[in-house]
Amino acid sequence: MAEEYEVVPVTPLRKIEQRLEKIEQGSPGYNSVLKDLAEMIKENQRTVDDLIKTNSDLIANIGSLSEHVGELTKKFNEFLENIEIAETSEEPEEWTKIKEETKKLKETNEELLDKLKKLERKMKLVELSKYYYPRQSSRNVNNNI
């Protein structure tokens, strides 16, 4: 077998080698960009850590809040049950006595109102009778004397 040979210009290869050496040695602009990039990555990681911590705290607080809401709901249901029991249970004796006395007072007030109305009617009739029967009223006065 015959070996094949090819002629390749060396100048472009040398230029590529020189650029690679510069990159490996690190140019001043390149190093500062890498430092900035590394600093940004660290800051980003700190932010992510803070967010994770805050999220964990928030989840814990929501769990606690859920428990408190459950307890509050339980107490509220017990309160409503107590109200329902109080509505269905018998009234104390004092309440029944007070209700009876209130009824009696109401009846008495109604009777008094009726009597006052009758008295007022009689007084009006007496007043009107003076105008329609002036002689009789004067006779009554003379008879009384």
At residue 7, the 3 state secondary structure works out as coil
pLDDT of residue 144: 53
Q: pLDDT grade, residue 108 (50/70/90)?
A: very high
Residue spans of the domains in the chain: they are 16-89, 94-139
Whether residue 32 is predicted with pLDDT greater than 70 in this model: the reply is yes
Whether residue 25 is predicted with pLDDT greater than 90 in this model: the reply is no
Residue 126 Cα distances to 26, 103, 121, 135, angstroms:
129, 35, 9, 14
pLDDT of residue 4: 74
- What would the mean pLDDT of 95-111 be, rounded to a whole number? 90
Length of the chain: 145
The DSSP secondary-structure symbol of 89 reads: S
Contact 137, 129 (CB under 8 A): yes
Across 1-5, 88-92, 128-132, which has the greatest mean pLDDT?
A: 128-132
Q: Rounded to whole angstroms, how far apart are CA atoms 39 and 32?
A: 10
Whether residue 87 is predicted with pLDDT greater than 70 in this model: the reply is no
pLDDT of residue 113: 92
- What would the mean pLDDT of 80-85 be, rounded to a whole number? 81
Whether residue 117 is predicted with pLDDT greater than 80 in this model: the reply is yes
